[in-house]
Amino acid sequence: MSGVVYLVGSGPGGLGLLTYRAREVIDAAEVILYDQLPGEEILSTLPASAEKIDCGKYGGAHTLSQEEIERLMVDRAKQGRRVVRLKGGDPFVFGRGGEEMEVLREHNITVEVVPGITSAIAVPGCAGIPVTHRSFASQVTFLTGHEDPKKEESAIDWGWLAQSPGTIVILMGVKNLGQITASLIAHGMKSDKPVAIIERGFRPDQQVTIGTLADITTGAQAAGVKPPAIIVIGEVVSLYRDGSEGAWSRGQ
């Protein structure tokens, strides 16, 4: 028996944005390997009968190593059990879902991908910031801010990015915010470019910090910005209005 693993995205937080298919496969799961990013509202509804394995915090910082997670997933699937690997947002957007699919394929385990609503689009959206807009942005770039831009062999071309038009959406960028903004300015991006940081989107304690490329780092420090947060850089940020988070931020 080789079993099946569902690579499931939970959406950006909250039951309302979990897909119908995700709910079906979660409810039928015999084993669930979950990250913390889906949030308490979803994690508290995992079926009591399933074996539940906590894989840890956001994105990179797991309590189990990536190898350990993959080993457990393969092991449980080979027992012929229905396994769900539950991740925040979409499983293939900065969630190592692609790597996990490759490992499962190597072991001839059936994989079903259940896409989720990615925080990269939905979290700016819930703060009233569209990632594209005919007047402001016809292009969006998504990137991980996990990498220090000063690193010699950066996988990100900061020079190109600083010159490119449109919106930049950064995930996992809080820690390196100072280096990221400095690098974009050094490569020629206007220092008055609007920036928004949205922390804990779709949670009752969502918080938005607005600034410019030049002052957002100081602003973020003053506001005590912490992960998980989405950083949006570009003219679309000018559409933000205080309070446009609406019902989500009030937990309704």
- Binding stretches for ligand SAH (CB under 6 A): 12-13, 37, 58-59, 87-90, 93-95, 118-120, 123, 171-172, 198, 200-202, 227-230
Cis peptide before 124 (omega within 30 of 0): no
**Are the CB atoms for 7 and 101 separated by under 8 Å?**
yes
Give catalytic residue positions. Answer: 35, 57, 172
Nearer residue to ligand SAH within complex by CB, 161 or 232: 232
Spatial separation of the C-alpha atoms in residues 252 and 241, rounded to whole Å = 19
Nearer residue to ligand SAH within complex by CB, 50 or 123: 123
Nearer residue to ligand SAH within complex by CB, 3 or 97: 97
**Are the CB atoms for 132 and 236 separated by under 8 Å?**
yes
Minimal distance in Å, beta carbon 248 to ligand SAH?
10
Nearer residue to ligand SAH within complex by CB, 81 or 146: 146
Minimal distance in Å, beta carbon 118 to ligand SAH?
3
Minimal distance in Å, beta carbon 1 to ligand SAH?
30
Class of residue 8 by CB neighbours under 10 A (exposed 0-12, middle 13-18, buried 19+): buried
Scored b (16 or more CB within 10 A) or e, 38-57 reads bbebbbeebeeebebbebbe
DSSP 38: T
Which one, of 122, 171, 93, 172, lies nearest residue 16 by Cα?
Answer: 122
- In degrees, rounded to 5, the angle at the alpha carbon of residue 57 between the alpha carbons of residues 92 and 44 is 90
Nearer residue to ligand SAH within complex by CB, 88 or 125: 88
Dihedral angle computed from the Cα positions of residues 236, 242, 247 and 252, in that order, rounded to the nearest 10 degrees: 130
